[in-house]
Amino acid sequence: MDLVNQIKLLRGLGYGSKAIARDLGMSRNTVKKYLNDNSQLPEGQPVCRKEPLIDFFSYCRKELARTGVTRQILWAEYRAGNPDGYSYSQFCELYNHWLEKKDVTLHIEQEPGDRMYVDFTGSKLPVVDPETGEIRDAEVFVSVLGNSGYTYVRACDSQKKEDFLQDIVHALHYYGAVPRVLVPDNLKSGVDRASRYEAEINRDLMDLGNHYGIAILPTRSRKPRDKAWVERMVQIIYNRIFALLRNQVFTSTYDLNEAILPLLDQHNNLPLQNRKESRRELFETHEKPLMKPLPVEKYELKDCQDAKVMKNCHVQLHRDRHYYSVPFRHIGQMSKIIFTSTYVSIYIGIERVAYHLRDVRPHKYTTMKDHLPSTHQFVNDWNPDRFIEWASSIHPDVKNYICKVLENKSYPEQTYRSCVGILAFAKKAGKERLIAACQRADGYEVYNYKVIEKIINNKLDRMAPETTQKTLPEHGNIRGAGYYK
């Protein structure tokens, strides 16, 4: 009769006749016979008492995850509501059968070029500071392609977002191609909020996915089987890399990665068990042809800042205190600066209006001539060579005078303004008058805009050149240098 009850209970839990026969060591026909013969059920033990127990098992599974809750406590709760229920031993046995049914695994066929699994190893590798002798633990990143098992391993300083994203970039460039889906764990550096159904992916990880055209599909929280491929590979990496490096001393993660690389190549080139091909051969043959090519530019972690376009057609990147030009039509508008370690992009709304290489020098300007109004473009081109060339096109004496003006002024902007004013007289008064004015002013040994202006306004350039006496005349009231000896 106990056997019959077990058959009925297992049937109520959803087991088929074949599974019941296997578990109880009976023939399938015997099981079917007992299932069809209700007359052998003992009195007072109706099959229906299994129904509250099955409903209770779902509650048990949640409660057992809580601290201090045991099966004995839950069975006591069950018997309190079902005095004629099962004994503790039967309760535990049936619960185990129920778990087996619920804990069914599904084999997922890995398509070539489809998924790339990434995770950090639980164990770490030591790195020694050569100056202090302090030992710190380096994190180890592992990536594996689902179909071929082609693996990438890299040591890094931490699991922070910056290191995590760089690890993914290094893995993609190691493969030389991009799979369709990236499957990370629910790390804080990659997922802002974990969810069983739809995780909130970190903005920077999503940006990386958009850059490479790869979908991001994080594993479900507390579901290690979702990343079984990389979990299994971690165990292999312990044997093939960690174990072989255990007696070596490394003073930087760079040196550690240099030691990891040949062992990684050896692992990927090793023939798979019961197969002739290696992981690398499977990857090159079956996976890489189905993967997307890498983009031209390598992904860089981005940062952003808002800034108002100033009246001088520039915005300031606060981190460097450096200024970058923006087209003058956007003066007064709010912009978004998106920058990496190598470039700076400036957006107005969704339109990128400026792109510059990043310059970290403080209080300097990076300017594109086309971003400035025409008058500002002229001023922006001010330099000594420009004014000397301009003066040369008028006359050698004008060039000589401008060169002396440039030498005479200590403040460049004021010097350039003087040159512009002097050379502008070529149009206002004519080249001949400007040449004569420069010759006369050079005779005075005075080099500035105002003297040229006075000469031209007073028409002194039209007068005959003055003969100037370089030595003092003889006079009784003049003592001479000998007086002071």
217, 123: one domain: yes
Higher pLDDT, 280 or 48: 280
Q: Which of the four pLDDT bands, split at 50, 70 and 90, describes residue 108? A: low
pLDDT of residue 197: 42
Tell me how many degrees the CA angle 293-294-298 measures, rounded to the nearest 5. Answer: 175
116 membership: H or E segment, kind and range: strand 115-120
Residue where one domain finishes, among candidates 290, 325, 356: 290
Read off the tokens for 484.
Answer: 């002071």
Residue 134 lies in a domain: yes
Q: Is the pLDDT of residue 283 over 90?
A: yes
48, 131: one domain: no
pLDDT of residue 410: 56
Average pLDDT score over residue span 153-162: 90
144, 119: one domain: yes
Higher pLDDT, 8 or 170: 170
370, 398: one domain: no
pLDDT of residue 8: 66
Q: Which of the four pLDDT bands, split at 50, 70 and 90, describes residue 44? A: very low
Average pLDDT value over all residues in the chain = 81
Q: Is the pLDDT of residue 331 over 60?
A: yes
pLDDT of residue 107: 46
pLDDT of residue 86: 84
161, 308: one domain: no
Instruction: Give the residue numbers spanning the domain of 408.
Output: 382-462
135, 284: one domain: yes
Residue 29 lies in a domain: yes
CB 30 within 8 A of CB 21: yes
Average pLDDT score over residue span 122-137: 91
pLDDT in tens, 162-220: 899 999 999 999 999 999 888 887 666 656 555 444 446 677 888 888 888 888 877 75
Q: Which of the four pLDDT bands, split at 50, 70 and 90, describes residue 43? A: very low
pLDDT in tens, 429-438: 888 899 889 9
pLDDT in tens, 295-326: 988 888 888 899 999 888 899 999 998 999 99
21, 138: one domain: no
CATH code of the domain in which 124 resides: 3.30.420.10
How many domains does the structure of the chain reveal?
4
pLDDT of residue 264: 94
Q: Is the pLDDT of residue 55 over 90?
A: no
Pick from 69-73, 123-127, 138-142, 194-198: least confident: 194-198
Q: Is the pLDDT of residue 263 over 90?
A: yes
Residue 195 lies in a domain: yes
89, 55: one domain: yes
pLDDT of residue 307: 93
Residue 339 lies in a domain: yes
pTM: 0.53
Residue where one domain finishes, among candidates 376, 405, 425: 376
366 membership: H or E segment, kind and range: strand 365-366
271, 402: one domain: no
196, 244: one domain: yes
Q: What's the CA gap between 256 and 155, in Å, rounded? A: 7
Residue 483 lies in a domain: no
Q: Is the pLDDT of residue 248 over 50?
A: yes
Average pLDDT score over residue span 454-473: 71
pLDDT of residue 42: 41
Q: Is the pLDDT of residue 233 over 60?
A: yes
Q: Which of the four pLDDT bands, split at 50, 70 and 90, describes residue 256? A: very high
Residue 470 lies in a domain: no
Residue 264 lies in a domain: yes
pLDDT of residue 350: 87
427, 351: one domain: no
230, 283: one domain: yes
pLDDT of residue 302: 85
pLDDT of residue 280: 93
Q: Is the pLDDT of residue 105 over 60?
A: no
pLDDT of residue 364: 86
Higher pLDDT, 68 or 157: 157
pLDDT of residue 376: 55
Residue 475 lies in a domain: no
